[in-house]
Amino acid sequence: MITINHLHKSYGTKNQRLHVLKDLSFTLPEGCLACLLGPSGSGKSTLLTILGGIETMDEGEIIVDNTSLAHLNKKELELYRRKKLGFVFQFYNLVDNLTVGENIRTGAYLSDDPLNVEDLAADLGIADQLRKFPSEISGGQAQRVSIGRAMAKKPSLLICDEPTGALDYESAEAVLHLIEALNRKYKTTVIIATHNEAIASMCHVILRLHDGSLKSYEENKHILSAEEVQW
Ligand SMILES: Nc1ncnc2c1ncn2[C@@H]1O[C@H](COP(=O)(O)OP(=O)(O)OP(=O)(O)O)[C@@H](O)[C@H]1O
Ligand SMILES: [Mg+2]
């Protein structure tokens, strides 16, 4: 379970502060697939990087699986990122001089209880790509590799920042299908930040951010399967 209480974040100097997250509070149940919507600049990535232990908060509390992030020291925060968390970036961030298989294994190495890389690659539909380098695969395949790397450590929380933003329709559909399958199979809690309203229809919880505030929190009563999602 993820609980966020009165989270604040601002950037800038004392005289020129930009208040990016303003008193955010919400809870996500374990195993839930959540969607984070909001216009550009509303604070989605900021929230995800704080939740991911990459960026610090100014005020408030984030509790993930009974652990309060604000109370972790540097070493503990590193362990949180390594063991509990999978992060999928819009532009993949693969390591160019490692093969697809090696990229996924960098995720598995971080875990005491990793998924089997070959099984995962089969789930991802990239079993025949493992020996290739990132420059030799398509964008949709690269995004699947980055999801594979994030999932290989079997994280309890998978954070996806615009996972389909750089993809064509077919590849985006495939990636959504995959995220849905991983959420169901491994009960991983997933948060997807996106501009694409259609993605919300397959999510259990829909969060809307506006100018750093939570505009709405909706439990989706009519969840569509990834296959049914169209735009
Ligand atoms: N490191 C930083 N330093 C200063 N300002 C920042 C920093 N990171 C983000 N911001 C500002 O915080 C606000 C929220 O940015 P954020 O990236 O969280 O938005 P977003 O909702 O993810 O937008 P997008 O949909 O375009 O990705 C923006 O006004 C941005 O300029
Ligand atoms: Mg963003």
CB 98 within 8 A of CB 108: no
Q: CA 169, CA 164: separation in Å to the nearest integer?
A: 9
- Give the pLDDT band (50/70/90) at residue 170: confident
| pTM score | 0.94
Task: Tell me, in angstroms, the distance from the centre of ligand 1 to residue 95's CA.
Answer: 25
CB 162 within 8 A of CB 92: no
Tokens 């690659």, residue located: 121
Tokens 């697809």, residue located: 100
Q: pLDDT (tens digit, 9 = 90+) per residue, 20-51?
A: 999 999 999 999 999 999 999 999 999 999 99
Task: Tell me, in angstroms, the distance from the centre of ligand 1 to residue 46's CA.
Answer: 6
Task: Tell me, in angstroms, the distance from the centre of ligand 1 to residue 129's CA.
Answer: 35
Q: Which residue has the higher pLDDT, 34 or 124?
A: 34
Ligand 1 pocket by C-beta < 6 Å: which residues? 11, 18, 20, 38, 40-46
Q: CA 56, CA 124: separation in Å to the nearest integer?
A: 32
Strand order in the sheet with 59-64: 17-28, 2-12, 59-64, 67-68
Q: Tell me the mean pLDDT in the region 64-87.
A: 92
CB 101 within 8 A of CB 121: yes
Closest ligand by atom to 161 CA: 2
Q: pLDDT (tens digit, 9 = 90+) per residue, 192-215?
A: 999 999 999 999 999 999 999 999
| Alpha helices (H) in the chain, listed in sequence order | 44-51, 74-79, 100-109, 117-124, 139-152, 169-186, 197-200
